[in-house]
Structure 1
């Protein structure tokens, strides 16, 4: 790869990483393009060479955030699995780790959807797709714990508990909603087990 091409890709990545930090911490509407350019240390033309509009940058940020978040969450889950937890318990322990992480401000995908207030926006659509992928990962962990049939029955309700826990953790500035959601999820799985007998 040529040095010019490397510099261009470095600048693009720096823009995405800078924008991700700012947009997550302060919100899409609160952070302007000029601030992102200044903090990334690039020229305005560099930004527009990579991203024709702020909307394009926001979408790239969400794609980057998904890869970063998924890797982080999987790492936390793996650590809890190695400590002897099953998939569902590890999921909620990782959720709690996320709530404890520095600068936690909830789910960037929920926040973006609320701020954009347009279901047809490319970033809103990507956020909705991210939530579908996150739901499938949760459902797999429920299936590991309780079997596929039970996972099909209880996953939608547990997913609502998880999303509620994320929002509540931000509003209360507390990690406890992860434990509340875990306990409710385990109780729900247990109750559905009794009904099936």
Structure 2
């Protein structure tokens, strides 16, 4: 049995501001993140973001240029915060590199169990937008690439012969679990993905492991 992760999942509610100059930006980012993830990007207008953040309209335009500029900033921030949480939680599970890879899905389940779990911000954003849009897809691929690189490193450390292929297999199971948990509102989707990942990982590990 893998050690249970204790690192808390990143919250969608704003943290306390300590820098007075940063407050308007932080309120805009926190409010937009919650509304975009919970209610949808196209369903969330500038007026609502302004009203719920309590920030002047001109401040939004001065700092982000447009709703799209705010969206890109939200995704960049979300990606950094989510990866920091996720990588730390997997590492905190301890054990061998293979055991850390198996801890991916218990960590994800702790995220799925949150009341403010609304799926992956990147997957949701790409799903809502024109599929020819390049900047949004680029941000998403950058995020996904960092996650796959993390899986690939653990796979190499575990002695797996094809670490990049294993990373993609774990990544696909992860993406599927994220979407399934969002649609069904069942955190146990992580458990089903964990069983499949364990079988794939056990088959790929060197015999001595």
Same fold (TM over 0.5): yes
1:6-155 alignment runs, 5 A limit: 7-81=20-94, 86-144=99-157, 146-155=158-167
Larger RCO (alpha carbons 8 Å, 6+ apart): 2
Aligned residues: 188
* Deviation for aligned residue 1:135: 1.6
The DSSP-based 3-state class of the residue aligned with 1:46 is helix
- Which has the larger share of helix? 1
Cα deviations by residue, 1:137-168 (Å, 9 ceiling, x for unpaired): 22223334x42424234222222111111111
* Deviation for aligned residue 1:134: 1.4
* Deviation for aligned residue 1:78: 4.0
Q: TM-score, normalised by structure 1?
A: 0.85
* Deviation for aligned residue 1:186: 1.6
Q: CA 1:173–1:90 in structure 2 vs 1: closer, same or farther (change >3 Å)?
A: same
**Structure 2, gaps ≥5 residues long:** 1-18
Alpha carbons 2:36, 2:44 under 8 Å: kept = yes
Corresponding position of 1:192: 204
1-structure distance, mates of 2:77, 2:170: 26
The DSSP-based 3-state class of the residue aligned with 1:42 is coil
RMSD in angstroms over aligned alpha carbons? 2.3
**Structure 1, gaps ≥5 residues long:** 1-5
Corresponding position of 2:182: 170
* Deviation for aligned residue 1:193: 4.5
The DSSP-based 3-state class of the residue aligned with 1:133 is helix
